[in-house]
């Protein structure tokens, strides 16, 4: 009873413009109305008219599946521009709780469209995804957000009180975001910057009540650019800051402007105009050395963005050189193309909100047709048709959404259109911007079409003072650093291969040398090996001369060198080598009265090894002193 009475109080405005009131609807749409002073462009769009026209158009394409009178619209107005004003945060929770109660009581789909303000994005999106495991899919509240940027296109339900480890075969989506998701945003901006060769970027984002917190998006874009450095040169984020109205933007850019090629501004058009006014006198801007790229994460659809920009320029057109440095990045659904004569540009239809309404109506129609039933089954998930290979959602005669499945994820297809101002008309005081055609105010500079995602230049940029524009990093454009890195890699690989071969050769040499040392320094220490002493043929056999008693010092002179009888050469690789010529051919010595005869031969080259020294020492002990 409390929830029902609360819903009666919250839904003070119940309007069904060309939709019709029915006792048993197949689809219930809940819309939160915000104050005009809180929305960025209150004079441009009429939300209720947008919902009514879109519902009538989509149902007219296949009236047998779903009639306009089978759609019920519930509208509630919540005052305040932030969570504190007029207790707005608490009232939003009350309205969401009442919506959940209505969804549980109804036998149809219940979809929340919104929120209208970016400050409510986190609250509403996190609240919607939680549900009870006992609640059938048909009776759960769903959300389609047209004003909140996100990481992915959709979010799944989180079921409370589930005790088993059940894993659904198909994703069970709770909410879908119409805005351009993070990955598509980062790819589009990176492609544009790389095509132009603007590598050094200063990233700015709006801080306001009407814009959701963009710090997470800014950090994500920064990390995405940094992560792409693994595959080649990428965008260098010089710095990133949050800005708001009435700031000194010149002082803000003072320390960074000289090393900045482009300023990436994430904001509403109203703040972008104020920012351009604040920087138009900076010398680098006057010289056209810095580009200003504007992107609105809350609504980037070209038909909405251009109308907002024209409204802002009609009240503040003197942007100076900053207006000539401006690039406006917008999106449109794949394949539809931009029609400068589209009736949407002359209407009050908000295309982002119309896309959310069209998606809800198309999903219900598809479920009814596929199940061949007159009513959606209890087990039906609203977004289950998105898991098909290709889904088309008509929004308006010139706008059609496209979705495709990739594994367990859903992707929407969008084209990117980059506009520049025709400053020769905008800066002319006699030129009426309000009544002017859009092709007299804006010009398409480049496009990024899907699939492929390649930038195509449509018209050249016109920089201030007929300059050449910001500094262009050619290697960033064509990834020449990637080729240099490849060459460096090949050189490094060659050096490593050469070092490995050299190490193998040295290892083999020392291994053989170690084996030789082991052979020479075995256990038989007193054996005079042939390779220790190299003998030449003696000059003669035993001579017939007399035996002489020589002293030990004569036979084995100190230091192994005889007085004037030995000539020393140094061609041994380990020890000294001595070349000896003797004066006597037979030497005699005595050991304990026994005669020891040593046949002395002419030794041409004697290599004295450590074992030889031991042998000589042993023989020396045998001789009398």
Q: Does residue 556 have a pLDDT over 50?
A: no
Residue 572: predicted pLDDT: 42
- pLDDT per residue over 453-488, tens digit each? 899 999 999 999 888 999 999 888 887 755 555 666
Mean pLDDT of the chain: 81
> Is the model more confident about 376 or about 9?
376
Mean pLDDT of 78-106: 88
- Same domain assignment for residues 39 and 147: yes
Query: If you ran DSSP here, which 8-state letter would residue 442 be given?
Result: E
pLDDT digits (tens, 9 = 90+) for 372-413: 888 899 999 999 999 988 999 999 998 999 999 877 788 999
Question: What is the reported pTM?
Answer: 0.75
Which range, of 150-159, 299-308, 433-442, averages the lowest pLDDT?
A: 150-159
What average pLDDT score do residues 576-590 get? 45
* Most confident stretch, 2-11, 203-212, 234-243, 414-423: 414-423
Residue 199 maps to a domain? yes
Q: 440 and 299, same structural domain?
A: yes
Please check whether residues 140 and 50 belong to one and the same domain.
yes
- The answer to whether residues 198 and 136 belong to one domain is no
Q: Are residues 136 and 201 in the same domain?
A: no
Asked which of 76-80, 198-202, 407-411 is least confident by mean pLDDT, the reply is 407-411
Residue 89 pLDDT: 85
Asked whether the beta carbons of 180 and 331 are under 8 A apart, the reply is: yes
Nearest to 585 by CA among 524, 544, 535, 525: 544
pLDDT at residue 582 in the model: 43
Q: Is residue 329 part of a domain?
A: yes
pLDDT in tens, 10-61: 443 343 333 444 458 999 999 998 877 787 677 899 999 999 999 999 999 9
Q: Is residue 531 domain-resident?
A: no
pLDDT confidence of residue 515: 73
User: Residues 227, 209: one domain?
Assistant: yes
Q: Is residue 16 part of a domain?
A: yes
Number of domains in the chain: 4
Check if the beta carbon of residue 68 is closer than 8 Å to that of residue 19.
yes
Residues 421 and 280 in one domain: yes
Domain harbouring 225, CATH code: 3.40.50.2300
Region of poorest pLDDT, from 178-192, 343-357, 387-401, 558-572? 558-572
* Confidence (pLDDT) at 522: 54
Q: How large a percentage of the chain has pLDDT more than 90? A: 47
Instruction: Flag whether 534 is in a domain.
Output: no
| 125 and 77 in a common domain | yes
**Secondary structure E strands in 149-235:** 154-156, 158-160, 173-177, 200-206
Q: Are residues 197 and 68 in the same domain?
A: no
Nearest by Cα to 122 from 197, 215, 37: 215
Do 327 and 357 reside in the same domain of the chain? no
**Mean pLDDT lowest among 103-107, 311-315, 379-383:** 103-107
For residue 546, being part of any structural domain is answered with no
The verdict on 82 and 173 lying in the same domain is: yes
Instruction: Respond yes or no on whether the N-terminal peptide bond of residue 451 is cis (omega within 30° of 0).
Output: yes
The DSSP annotation for 513-556 comes to HHHHHHHHTSS-TT---TTTSBPPPPSSSS-SSPP-B--HHHHS
Per-residue model confidence (pLDDT) at position 167: 59
Q: Are residues 186 and 88 in the same domain?
A: no
- Expressed as residue numbers, the domain containing 599 is 552-622
Nearest to 182 by CA among 123, 227, 224: 224
Read off the pLDDT band of 293 (50, 70, 90).
Answer: very high
- Give me the mean pLDDT over the 116-122 stretch: 85
Are the CB atoms for 555 and 598 separated by under 8 Å? yes
Give the confidence band of 563 by pLDDT, cuts at 50, 70, 90.
Answer: very low
């Amino acid at each position: 009873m409390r929830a029902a009475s609360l819903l009666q109080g919250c839904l003070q405005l119940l309007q069904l413009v060309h939709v019709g009131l029915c006792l048993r609807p197949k689809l219930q749409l809940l819309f939160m109305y915000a104050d005009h002073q809180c929305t960025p462009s209150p004079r441009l769009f009429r939300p209720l008219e947008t919902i009514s026209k879109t519902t009538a158009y989509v149902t007219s394409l296949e009236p047998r599946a779903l009639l306009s009178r089978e759609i019920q619209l519930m509208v509630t107005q919540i005052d305040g521009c932030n969570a504190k004003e007029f207790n707005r945060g608490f009232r939003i929770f009350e309205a969401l709780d009442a919506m959940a109660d209505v969804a549980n009581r109804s036998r149809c789909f219940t979809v929340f469209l919104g929120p209208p303000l970016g400050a409510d994005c986190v609250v509403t999106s996190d609240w919607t995804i939680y549900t009870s495991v006992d609640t059938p899919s048909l009776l759960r509240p769903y959300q389609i957000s047209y004003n909140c940027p996100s990481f992915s296109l959709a979010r799944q339900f989180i079921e409370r009180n589930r005790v088993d480890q059940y894993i659904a075969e198909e994703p069970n989506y709770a909410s879908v975001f119409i805005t351009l998701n993070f990955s598509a945003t980062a790819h589009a901006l990176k492609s544009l910057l790389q095509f132009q060769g603007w590598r050094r970027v200063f990233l700015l984002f709006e801080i306001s009540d009407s814009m959701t917190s963009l710090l997470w998006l800014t950090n994500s874009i920064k990390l995405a650019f940094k992560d792409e450095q693994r595959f080649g040169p990428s965008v260098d984020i010089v710095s990133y800051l949050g800005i708001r109205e009435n700031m000194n933007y010149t002082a803000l850019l003072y320390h960074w402007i000289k090393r900045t090629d482009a300023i990436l501004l994430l904001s509403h058009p109203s703040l972008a105009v104020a920012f351009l006014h604040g920087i138009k006198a900076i010398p680098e801007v006057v010289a056209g050395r810095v580009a200003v790229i504007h992107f609105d994460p809350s609504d980037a659809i070209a038909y909405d963005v251009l109308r907002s920009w024209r409204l802002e320029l009609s009240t503040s057109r003197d942007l100076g050189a900053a207006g000539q440095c401006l690039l406006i990045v917008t999106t449109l659904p794949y394949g539809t193309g931009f029609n400068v004569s589209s009736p949407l540009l002359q209407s009050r239809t908000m295309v982002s909100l119309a896309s959310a309404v069209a998606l809800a109506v198309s999903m219900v129609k598809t479920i009814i047709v596929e199940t061949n039933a007159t009513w959606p089954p209890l087990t039906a998930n609203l977004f289950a048709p998105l898991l098909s290979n290709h889904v088309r959602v008509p929004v308006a005669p010139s706008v059609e959404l496209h979705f495709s499945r990739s594994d367990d994820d859903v992707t929407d297809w969008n084209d990117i259109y980059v506009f520049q101002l025709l400053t020769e008309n905008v800066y002319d005081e006699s030129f009426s911007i309000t009544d002017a055609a859009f092709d007299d105010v804006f010009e398409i500079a480049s496009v990024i079409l899907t699939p492929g995602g390649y930038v195509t230049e449509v018209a050249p940029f016109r920089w201030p003072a007929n300059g050449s524009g910001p500094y262009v990093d050619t290697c960033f454009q064509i990834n020449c650093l990637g080729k240099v890195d490849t060459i460096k890699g090949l050189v490094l690989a060659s050096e490593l291969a050469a070092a490995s071969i050299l190490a193998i050769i040295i290892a083999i040499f020392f291994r053989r040398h170690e084996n030789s040392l082991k052979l020479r320094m075995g256990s038989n220490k007193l054996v005079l090996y042939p390779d220790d002493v190299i003998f030449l043929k003696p000059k003669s056999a035993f001579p017939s001369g007399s035996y002489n008693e020589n002293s030990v010092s004569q036979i084995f002179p100190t230091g192994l060198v005889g007085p004037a009888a030995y000539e020393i050469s140094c061609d041994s690789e380990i020890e000294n080598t001595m070349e000896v010529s003797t004066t006597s051919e037979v030497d005699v010595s005595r050991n304990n009265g026994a005669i020891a005869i040593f046949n002395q031969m002419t030794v041409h080259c004697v290599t004295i090894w450590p074992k030889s020294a031991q042998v000589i020492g042993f023989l020396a002990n045998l001789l009398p002193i």
